[in-house]
Every structure is written in structure tokens, then in C-alpha cells.
Structure 1
Amino acid sequence: MSATDKARNKADEMAGLAKEKFGEATDNPDKKNEGKAEQVMANLKDAAEKVKDAFRK
């Protein structure tokens, strides 16, 4: 996995975490769930990159 992809996935995960915490602080369940979904998507992208790397070796 390239460092760029890894950094992008981590940034997406952190953005999702921030959005989730903002939703909790403002008692906004939609924003909280949106943040959780962004974190899941970032983790899935990261996992897909790791699988691709495993097959390249």
C-alpha cells in the first residue's frame, strides 16, 4: 500500500471520528451515524489495500 493511500485512509477515518463526536456533542444521531459510516468505509479501503499488497508479493 502506498503511503499516500494509507494517509488518505487515516485522514478519512479521523474525519469520520470527528463527525461522530460532533454528532454526540450536538445530540444529532444522523451526524453521529454518518461519522461511523465514514470510519467503516476508511477501514474497508485500508483492508482492501492490504489484500492487494498481499497478492503482489
Structure 2
Amino acid sequence: MKFTHNKFNTLCAGFILTLCSLSAYAEDSKIETPMNEDQVEGRVEETKGTVKEVTGKILDDKGMEIKGNVQKNLGKAQKGYGDIKQDIKEDK
């Protein structure tokens, strides 16, 4: 598989859009209480998985795409677990 200049530009654009969306998400979410470790790690893993999945799609690498999808979903699960822990903590 040849890595063409066009694919590289598309990959860079996807990465920049991902970073911009994270920045917009951070500004929109006004969290009054700090996030716990599971919430932070889950969001990081979800983002890394999304980037890996998109990179796999752009490069036509099914293995990378699947690994990114799995990593993204594991990050979502960890984020959800952290959200539940936070809700329980706030109710006490």
C-alpha cells in the first residue's frame, strides 16, 4: 500500500478536526465538580480509539480500524463507570 500525499493530508485534517472537537467539547461542558480518574482515563481512551479508528479507515487498514473501535468502546465503558461513581459520590 502506498502512502500518498492526499491520504496524508486527509489524515492530518482528521486529526486537527478531532482536536478542535475536543476543545469545543471542553468549553461547552462546564463541570462544577472535578472529574474522577475513571472519567478522565475513559475520555482519553475513547479519543485515542476514535483517532485510531479514523486513521484505519483513511489508510484502509481494517486491523487498525477494529482496534480503534474496540479501544473507543472500552473508553466509553470506563467513562460511564466513572460517571456512575461520580453520581454516587454526589448523592452522599
Q: Match of 2:85? A: 52
Give the structure-1-normalised TM-score: 0.78
- Larger relative contact order, structure 1 or 2 (CA cutoff 8 Å, min sep 6): 1
The one-letter code of the counterpart of 1:54 is D
Identical aligned pairs, as a percentage?
A: 18
- Structure 1 unmatched runs, 5+: none
Matched, 1:23 2:56: yes
Aligned length: 56
Q: Which structure's residues are more often helix, by fraction?
A: 1
Aligned alpha-carbon RMSD (Å): 1.6
1:36 shift after superposition? 0.7
Choose 1 or 2 for highest CA Rg: 2
